[in-house]
Amino acid sequence: MRTDRFVHSLRAATLASSLVLGALLLVACPGTLDDKQRFLVDAGSAGKVGTAGTGGGDDAAAPSDAGSDAGDAGPNLGPCGNVVERIFEPSCGGTGCHGATGAQQGLDLVSAGVAQRVVGVPGIGCSATLADPANPEASLIYTKLSPTPPCGSPMPLARPALSDEDVACVLAWIAAQ
């Protein structure tokens, strides 16, 4: 009989503990983001992984207020849109290429902050600046898109060449940095 009371008390204490823990978990729930893009831009400008973009909420900041990663898209490039997302990610960021992990020549062209990683930075294995807004036509990222680049293989390697329009967009993106 005494054992039954003990077991009953133990079960009651376990149930009470479970209820308290469940209540704490509900209180600690982070909820949802009203403006995910703004969060990602702010996270990227703080040196954390994120993506550039414009906000979508009612209180979203204008792209010019979005932080340093907003420079990835450059100023409004018209039909080019966001060159990093539209061209670099699908054409350059594949496995074994210039993605966030295992980037060839250490060149990541897809994570937030592309402009900060390439503008004024010398290329590895080629004597040219990756992106030179003062002389975009001499930029390594641009010259590697030609069928006969000044060094190394044309890019993207083992993938279809970019269209003339996309190459022009890359040039415009470099010039806008």
Q: Answer whether residue 153 shows pLDDT above 70.
A: yes
| Assigned domain for 15 exists | yes
How many angstroms separate the CA atoms of 154 and 161, rounded? 9
Q: Answer whether residue 9 shows pLDDT above 90.
A: no
76 — pLDDT class (breaks 50, 70, 90): low
78 — pLDDT class (breaks 50, 70, 90): confident
| Assigned domain for 86 exists | yes
| Assigned domain for 138 exists | yes
The pLDDT tens digits of the residues spanning 108-118 come to 999 999 999 99
121: Cβ contacts below 8 Å, ≥ 6 apart: 129, 130, 131
Q: What is the pLDDT of residue 115?
A: 95
3-state secondary structure of 171: helix
| Assigned domain for 96 exists | yes
Q: Answer whether residue 72 shows pLDDT above 60.
A: no
| Assigned domain for 91 exists | yes
> Same structural domain for residues 77 and 162?
yes
94 — pLDDT class (breaks 50, 70, 90): confident
| Domains: count for the chain | 2
Containing domain of residue 81, as a range? 73-176
> Same structural domain for residues 85 and 157?
yes
Q: Which amino acid is at 64?
A: S
> Same structural domain for residues 169 and 86?
yes
> Same structural domain for residues 97 and 15?
no
Mean pLDDT (whole number) for 91-104: 89
Mean of all residue pLDDT scores within the chain: 72
Q: Answer whether residue 39 shows pLDDT above 90.
A: no
How many angstroms separate the CA atoms of 70 and 130, rounded? 19
Please give the model's pTM, rounded to 2 decimal places. 0.59
> Same structural domain for residues 9 and 93?
no
| Class of residue 119 by CB neighbours under 10 A (exposed 0-12, middle 13-18, buried 19+) | middle
| Assigned domain for 170 exists | yes
How many angstroms separate the CA atoms of 176 and 74, rounded? 6
**Cβ atoms of 155 and 166 closer than 8 Å:** no
| Assigned domain for 13 exists | yes
> Same structural domain for residues 22 and 79?
no
